[in-house]
Amino acid sequence: MRRRSFLTMGGAAGLAVAMPGVASAAVAAPGRTRKAARRPDFGSPGSLRGLAVPIGLHIGTAVIPFDLDTPAYTAILAEQFSAVTPGNAMKWGVVEPVQGQFDWSDADTLVSFAEQNGQLVRGHTLLWHNQLPDWLTTGVANGTISSTQLMDLLEQHIFTEVGRYRGRIWQWDVANEFFLDADPSGINPNDFWVANLGAGVIPQAFKWAREADPFALLFYNDYNIAGEDGTNAKSDAVYAWLQQMLDQGVPIDGVGDQGHLDTQYGFSPQQMTQDLQRYATLGLKVAITEADVRTFVNNPTDQVPTDNLALFAQPFEFAQMLGACLETPECISFTVWGFGDADSWVPGAFAGEGYAALYDVNLNPKPAFFALQQDLQFGAFGAPRRSLGGRHR
């Protein structure tokens, strides 16, 4: 029923890409040409997206619009991935650089690209302390924006952005990175939003997002929440908070572990699996949302690892993360944070590190790519099948 009413609302484009296994032409709205609804939905037989189809898993990547101008890049993007996340294009600072003046160009381009290529979209992100517009943070700092006004602005932001893409976003990262890297962990009292509006702003954001788009799966997203901190403290805190939120009826559908790993620290695949499965026991979907595995490199341009063992650790850790997802039937997507080393955020964010992606600086697939490919090949025979997910799909 929901789907039917959705179609009558003119949301067919979103629905068409939301049903892998169904030819998009078959559900295209009247008036959409067959040409527009071509069906690359499965990728080629050996592609990551194609290999993941039998188990209902989506393989995603973050994309920055600049990349869409490079044909070699878009070819891989369309061929290998069945989901995309805007790396920056939907962050508040990008969509509303000047108060009241919106720039949706990059986000629109990416959503259209996804729809034309049978890909689902993860919206990222509505409530985060980073990449906020200057006018907002300055206004709060100098007192020209009061707490009441800040709350109103946030409400407007969520309704405007989520409303704009209503029916076309599969998963929204509603809230991002609110927990402390500490043992014990907990919500960071110094977070911009929490400090100004209290921790109640997080559930409020989920409620607004649900109202603005009842079709999207709403996610809490964070890093090191599947045991990567070594203590599992952050996972424990997030798990307890999610339980409390769900008990209070807050509309949270899923939890995303970013999955930013670093070969110098290692991680426990068993812990990751247990943590993902523990979230799933709450009735939530889970996802790996920003996977990459960084290591020390010679320089940011060539990104050749300085330690030979990293050549083994990098694909191993990627494969183990995918394995944790495969072992968890509620894990519906495995997304990498960019697929090429040349446009990875890592060299810019972590001094001396790189080599974090699946493809090298020249867009050649690396051992990590082949490791994932092989695991998906095997996974198709043994991993539990998952459904697209949530109450709404």
Of 177, 228, 317, 353, the active-site residue reads 177
Is the separation of the CB atoms in 140 and 196 below 8 Å? yes
Residue with tokens 């799966």: 217
For 357-363, the CB contacts below 8 A with 24+ separation are: 357/292, 358/318, 359/76, 360/303, 361/301, 361/302, 361/303, 363/72, 363/73, 363/76
Q: Is 79 a catalytic residue?
A: no
Neighbours of 266 (CB within 10 A): 13
Q: Is 177 a catalytic residue?
A: yes
DSSP 136: H
Choose between 32 and 129: whose C-beta lies nearer to ligand XIL: 129
- Closest separation in Å from C-beta 27 to ligand XIL: 32
Choose between 178 and 241: whose C-beta lies nearer to ligand XIL: 178
Q: Which residues contact 34 (CB under 8 A, 6 or more apart)?
A: 25, 28
Choose between 96 and 290: whose C-beta lies nearer to ligand XIL: 290
- Closest separation in Å from C-beta 290 to ligand XIL: 6
Choose between 153 and 175: whose C-beta lies nearer to ligand XIL: 175
Whether residue 289 is preceded by a cis peptide bond, meaning omega within 30 degrees of 0, is: no
> What burial class does residue 108 get, using C-beta atoms within 10 Å of its C-beta: 0-12 exposed, 13-18 middle, 19+ buried?
middle
Choose between 258 and 333: whose C-beta lies nearer to ligand XIL: 258
Q: How far apart are CA 290 and CA 219, in angstroms?
A: 13
Parallel/antiparallel/unpaired status of strands 331-336 and 353-354: unpaired
The residues of the shown chain that bind ligand XIL, judged by CB under 6 A, are 87-88, 176, 258, 290, 345
> What burial class does residue 40 get, using C-beta atoms within 10 Å of its C-beta: 0-12 exposed, 13-18 middle, 19+ buried?
middle
Q: Which two tokens stand for residue 77?
A: 């993007």
Of 96, 228, 290, 330, the active-site residue reads 290
Is the separation of the CB atoms in 353 and 347 below 8 Å? yes
List Cα–Cα distances, 373 to 24, 46, 379, in angstroms.
Answer: 25, 7, 10
Choose between 290 and 327: whose C-beta lies nearer to ligand XIL: 290
- Closest separation in Å from C-beta 128 to ligand XIL: 7
- Closest separation in Å from C-beta 55 to ligand XIL: 26
Q: Which two tokens stand for residue 308?
A: 């030979």
- State the residue number with the nearest CB to ligand XIL: 345
Q: How far apart are CA 145 and CA 149, in angstroms?
A: 6
Choose between 41 and 341: whose C-beta lies nearer to ligand XIL: 341
Nearest to 310 by CA among 278, 344, 347, 355: 355
- Catalytic sites, residue numbers: 177, 290
